[in-house]
Each structure stands twice: as structure tokens, then as C-alpha cells.
Structure 1
Amino acid sequence: MDLGIAGRRAIVCASNRGLGRACAEALAAAGCAVVINGLDAARLEETARQIADKTGAKIIPVAGDVSDPQIQKALLAACPEPDILVNNNGGPPRKDFREIDREAMAKGVVQNMITPIELIQATVDGMAERGFGRIVNITSMSVKMPIEGLDLSSGARAGLTAFLAGVCRTVAGKGVTINNILPGKMDTDRLRGGFERAVEQTGRSMEEIRAAQAAEIPAGRFGTAEEFGQTCAFLCSVHAGYITGQNILLDGGLYPAAF
């Protein structure tokens, strides 16, 4: 399917690896020029080269923490008039809520709520003036279904979701959509890190842990970064202009609900 976004300009935050990288690759394959971002400058340069070689697209790396206002300025300098913004950022580490102090809570809210809002504030009016804009926020299934130890991440991402629920409707008539993708158990480094912790805590093998967790998912498997990226690209396409304010679950049916 032609997504109709060839020649569009995109910013994809935290796109050095995993789900962010998959979104950047899918947009590049659709013909977008993409600004990518990550903490590791050397790795980011290599990622940019690999995506450019694979897709032929223009890929611009901007290294640094996307929660840093100076890095946000650098992203916007590299792409002053983005048509597409994919908000993504690392979340706070898994921790019992009793152990989270005020400083950690503030940092988590900045990472997963304030930072995407700041980038939307900086880009949405330009999108509206040009008559086209696609904003996709990568949040988490934990916005809908609690995950033990991820309370801070869940709370901040749920706050972002609620904040944007009204905002998205103020710009829908100007060709701008704002949606959220909620990943479930995707086969990424973050999920594998959870497996390693489970191995240490239970003494079971990695294979046993993987099999047990996959068995909990109705689809019988973990999601892939590639299918996540393709979903993001579709939400950024001309075909998704009537979809806004939605939480798209990619969880293989793990969240058990009708609505």
C-alpha cells in the first residue's frame, strides 16, 4: 500500500533501537526524510547509515536526551517544519512504588509526559497551518492494564493520554491527528531485560521464562518491532486522517476487554 507520505518530514524520538528505530525505518521506507535521535552518538550514526542504505531515504541523526530542551531545539533545527512527530522515550526502571522518591517521580513525569507535550507544543501549530500533521505517541499497554513495578511509567503515560484527549480534537479539523500506540510484550531489549531479572529471581531458565510469558498471550507469541513500525507508519499515512484521539493496542490480545 502506498501510504501517500513520500517527501514528508518526520522526527522520531529515541529511535536508536527497538520500537523507535522500527518506526523510523517504516517511515523512511514510505519515502519520508527522518530525523532520528538517541543517547549513544556512535550507535546513532551507524543506525542512520543503516536505515539510509536500506531505504534510500535522507536520515539525519541528532544525539542526546530528548528530555533536554537543548536537544529538542536541535531536533527542530534539523527539521524545522515536521509533518510527522513520533514521541518516544525510555521509561523509569521497574521499582516498588514505596522506593520512588520525589526526584525520581519528577524525572519520570518529565520523560514520559512533559517531554512529548513540549514537542507537540512546538510543532502542532505549524502542522495545522500547512494542513497536514501526524503525531504518534508511543506509550504502553500499562496505561490500560497495571504492570507491577511500572507504576511511575504507567502514571506519566496515562497523564499524557488524558492531557492530549482534548488537545487532539482542537486540531482534527486542520488535518492533524494525534494518536497513541500501546505496545504489549514486544520482543525488544527492554522485554529481554525483564526476562533476565526473572531468571535471577526464580532460577528458571531463559527459555522457560520466555515460553511461560508467551503462553499468556492469546496470539501465542511476542510482538515484533517491525509490525509495530508498520502500524505507526499507517497512522502517519494519508489513509489515517479520520483516526484521532485513539489508543491502539498492539498486545496480541493480552488485554482482556471488549472496549
Structure 2
Amino acid sequence: MDLGLTGRAALVCASSKGLGLGTAKALAAAGCTLTINGRDPKRLDAVATQLREEFGVSVTAVAADVSTQEGQAALLKACPAPDILINNNGGPPRRDFRELTRPDMIDGVVQNMVTPIELIKAVIDGMIDRNFGRIVNITSMSVKRPIDGLDLSSGARAGLTAFLAGVCRQVAAHNVTINNVLPGKFDTDRLKGGFERQSRQSGMPLEEVKKEQAREIPAGRFGNPDEFGQTCAFLCSQHAGYITGQNILLDGGLYQSAF
């Protein structure tokens, strides 16, 4: 399927690995001009080279922390008029809520709620003027299904979801859409870190921890970042202009609900 994205400018935050990289690859395959981002300059440059060679598209790499004002300024200088914005960022570490300090909570809300709102504010009027815009926020299944120790991440992402539920309807008539994609258990470094933590705490061998968690998923496996990226790319396409304000759950059926 031709997604109608050839030549579109895409800004993909936190895209040097994991779900962000999977999304950047899918948009590159669709012909987008990319601005990618990460905090490790060496890794980011290697990813940029890989994407240029594999897909033949222009890729600008911006090494910066997207949660800082300086990082956002660097990204917007490199890509001042994006047609596509993929909001993605690391979340706060797993921690019992009793251990959270006020600075911890502020940092978590800045990472997973304030930062994407700031970027949307910076780019949305340009999208309206051009009569095309696609914004996808990578949040988490934990918005719907709480995960022990990730209360701060879940709360901040839920706040972002509620905040944008009204915003998306203000801009829909201008062919600007805002949607959220909620990943479940995908084969990423963050998931592997969780396996290792559970293995240490339980004494269970690492491979058995992985198998046990995979068995909980009706699909019988963990998700692949590349298939995640393909869903994000479709939401950015010319065919998805009538989809807005939605929370797209990608979890292999783990969250059990009829509606």
C-alpha cells in the first residue's frame, strides 16, 4: 500500500533504538525525510547511516534529550516544519510509589506529559496552515492496565491522553490528526531489563521468566518493534485522516476487554 508519505518531513523522538527506531524505519520505507533523535551520538549516527543506506532517504540526526528545552530547540531547528511528529520518550524507572520524591514526580510528568505537549504546541499551527499533520504519541498499555511500579509513568501518560482528547478535536477539520499507540510487551531493552529484574528477585532462570511472560499473551509471543512501526506509519498516512483521538492498543490480546 502506498501511504502517500513520499517527501513528507517526519520528526521521530527517541528513535535510536526500540519502538522509536521501528517507527523511523517504517516512515523511511514510506519515503519520509527523517529527523531522528537520541542521547547517544555514536549510536544515533550509526542508525542514521543505516537508514540512509537501506531506504535512500535524507536523515538528520540530533543528539539531545528531548525532555529539555535545549533538546527541543535543537530538534525544531533541524526540522522546523514537520508534517509528522512521533512523540516518544523513556519513562521513569520502576519504583514503588512510596519511594517517589517530589522531584521524581515532576521529572516523570515532564518526560511523559509536558514534553510531548510542548512539541505539539510548537508544530501544530504549521500543520494546520499546510492542511496536513499527523501526530502519534507512543504511550503504554499501562494507561489501560496498570503495571506494578510504573504508577508515575502510567499517570503521566494517562494525563497526556486526557489532555489531547480535546485538542485533537479542535484541529481535525484541518486534516491534522492526533492518536496514541499503546504498546504492550515488545522485544525492547526496557522489557529485557524487566526480565532480568524479575529473574534476580525470584531466582527463576532468565529464559524461564521470558517463557512465562510470553505464555500470558494470547498471541504467544512478544511484539516486534518493526511491526509496531508499521502501525504508526499507517496512522501517519494519507489513508488515516479520519482516525483521530484514538488509543490503539498493540499487545497481542493481553488486555482483555470487549470494548
Partner Cα distance (1:167, 1:199) in 2:
42
The corresponding residue for 1:213 is: 213
Q: In percent, how many aligned pairs have the same letter?
A: 69
TM-score (normalised: structure 2): 0.99
Separation of aligned partners in 1, 2:149 and 2:74: 33
- 1:120 Cα deviation (Å)? 0.1
Query: Normalized against structure 1, the TM-score is what?
Result: 0.99
Paired with 1:93 and 1:153, the residues of 2 have a C-alpha distance of: 8
- 2: CA distance between counterparts of 1:48 and 1:222? 26
After TM superposition, give the deviation of residue 71 of structure 1 in Å. 1.3
Amino acid at match of 1:44: L
What corresponds to 1:244 in structure 2? 244
Residue 94 (structure 2) aligns with: 94
Task: Give every structure 1 segment of 4 or more consecutive aligned residues whose post-TM-superposition deviation is greater than 3 Å.
Answer: none
Where in structure 2 are the equivalents of 1:175-190 lying within 5 Å?
Answer: 175-190=175-190
Q: Quick one: which amino acid aligns to residue 127 of structure 1?
A: M
For the residue of structure 2 that corresponds to 1:37, the secondary structure is strand
How far 1:203 sits from its partner (Å)? 1.0
Cα distance in structure 2, aligned partners of 1:149 and 1:178: 28
Residue of structure 1 in register with 2:137 after alignment: 137
Q: Deviations over 1:65-95 (max 9, x none)?
A: 0011111111111111100000000000000
Q: Give the letter aligned to residue 145 of structure 1.
A: R
Matches within 5 A, 1:223-238: 223-238=223-238
Matched with 2:18 is 18
What RMSD in Å do the two structures reach over aligned CA positions?
0.5
Q: CA offsets per residue over residues 103-128 of structure 1, 9 Å max, x none?
A: 00000000000000000000011001
Q: Which residue of 1 aligns with 2:47?
A: 47
- Segments of structure 2 that go 5 or more residues without pairing to the other structure are none
| Structure 2 residue matching 1:117: 3-state secondary structure | helix
SS in 2 for 1:222: coil
Could you tell me whether the CA contact under 8 Å between 2:64 and 2:74 is conserved in 1? no
Matched AA of 1:169: R
**Structure 1: gaps of 5 or more residues:** none
Secondary structure of 1:62's counterpart equals strand
Matched positions, count: 259
Alignment check: 8 A CA contact 2:177 2:244 kept: yes
* SS at structure 1 position matched to 2:85: strand
CA distance in 2, matches of 1:258, 1:42: 45
Structure 1 counterpart of 2:77:
77
- How much has 1:196 moved relative to structure 2? 0.4
Q: Which amino acid aligns with 1:242?
A: Y
Deviates more, 1:67-76 or 1:224-233: 67-76
Any idea what the Cα deviations from partners look like across 1:46-80, whole Å, max 9, x if unmatched? 11001111111111000010011111111111111
Aligned-residue offset at 1:166: 0.2
1:220, 1:90 → 2: CA distance? 26
Shift of the alpha carbon at 1:129?
A: 0.7
The Cα shift of 1:158 comes to 0.2
Q: Deviations over 1:124-172 (max 9, x none)?
A: 1100110000000000000001100000000000000000000000000
Q: What is the distance in 1 between the residues matched to 2:210 and 2:71?
A: 37
